[in-house]
Structure 1
Amino acid sequence: MSEKTNTLHTAILKNNCPTCFSTDGLELVFTQNEKENAFCYKPNSKIDESLYCKNCKNVIYPVNWTTDIERVYNYNKKIAETKRLYLKVKPLFYILIISGVAVMAAVTYALISSL
């Protein structure tokens, strides 16, 4: 089972960094994990977010966020669209179902014709 991370939304913020006080280095990224196997794939319901400063090269954790950063975060979280949470099956799943039904029909036909 493999996992893939999809970037849903990226925003460059003009707020001050709480660490280095720069106004042009903050980047807010929203990501979502997707699990995939041979039969299907399904997006995870949890959305991960990270705030990174490109000037001081630090991850800014929510404990250090200012009220301005919090407001911009809430706005961008509404913009970030999640992938629909549904199970999408692959062609291998359909092949196995059809072959299973065919085997059951053949066994049933063989039992009925032997009577």
Structure 2
Amino acid sequence: MTKKTNILHTAKLKNNCPTCFGTDGLELKFTQDEDENAFFHKPNRNISETLYCHNCKNPIYPVNWTEDIERVYDYNKKIAETRRQYLSVKPLFYILIVLAIIVIGALGYIFLF
């Protein structure tokens, strides 16, 4: 089973970085993992977010966030759309189901007559 990461939303922030105090380097990114194999793919429920400063090249952890950053974070979290939380099957799954029905039907026909 492979995991694929989808980027839901990316925002460049104009807030001050708590580490280097730069105003043009903050980037907020929302991502969601998706499990995928040959039969289906399904998005996970959890959404991860990262705040990164391109000026000082450091991730900014939520402990260091200011009230302004938290306000902008809440706004952008509402904008980030999650992928639907349902199991989506692939064509190989349907092919195997049809083959299983054919085999069961053939065995039933052989043993009944």
Query: Normalising TM by the smaller chain, what interval?
Result: over 0.9
Alpha-carbon offset, residue 112 of structure 1: 1.0
Residue of structure 1 in register with 2:8 after alignment: 8
Instruction: State the alpha-carbon separation in 2 of the partners of residues 28 and 112 from structure 1.
Output: 65
Any idea what the Cα deviations from partners look like across 1:39-77, whole Å, max 9, x if unmatched? 000001100000000000000000000000000000000
Residue of structure 2 in register with 1:86 after alignment: 86
Residue of structure 2 in register with 1:17 after alignment: 17
Gaps of 5+ in 1: none
| Structure 1 length-normalised TM | 0.97
Aligned pair 1:51/2:51, yes or no? yes
Alpha-carbon offset, residue 103 of structure 1: 0.5
Instruction: State the alpha-carbon separation in 1 of the partners of residues 112 and 44 from structure 2.
Output: 47
Instruction: Name the amino acid aligned to 2:49.
Output: E
Instruction: State the alpha-carbon separation in 1 of the partners of residues 81 and 112 from structure 2.
Output: 55
| Structure 2 length-normalised TM | 0.99
Instruction: Name the amino acid aligned to 1:73.
Output: Y
Alpha-carbon offset, residue 98 of structure 1: 0.5
Instruction: State the alpha-carbon separation in 2 of the partners of residues 63 and 26 from structure 1.
Output: 16
Q: How many residues align?
A: 113
Instruction: State the alpha-carbon separation in 2 of the partners of residues 5 and 41 from structure 1.
Output: 12
Moved over 4 A (4+): none
Gaps of 5+ in 2: none
Instruction: Name the amino acid aligned to 2:28.
Output: L
Instruction: State the alpha-carbon separation in 1 of the partners of residues 27 and 20 from structure 2.
Output: 14
- Say what the alpha-carbon RMSD is for the aligned residues: 0.4
Instruction: State the alpha-carbon separation in 2 of the partners of residues 9 and 90 from structure 1.
Output: 26
Instruction: State the alpha-carbon separation in 1 of the partners of residues 80 and 93 from structure 2.
Output: 31
Alpha-carbon offset, residue 78 of structure 1: 0.1
Instruction: Name the amino acid aligned to 2:51.
Output: L
Residue of structure 1 in register with 2:66 after alignment: 66
**Alignment partner of 1:98: what SS?**
helix
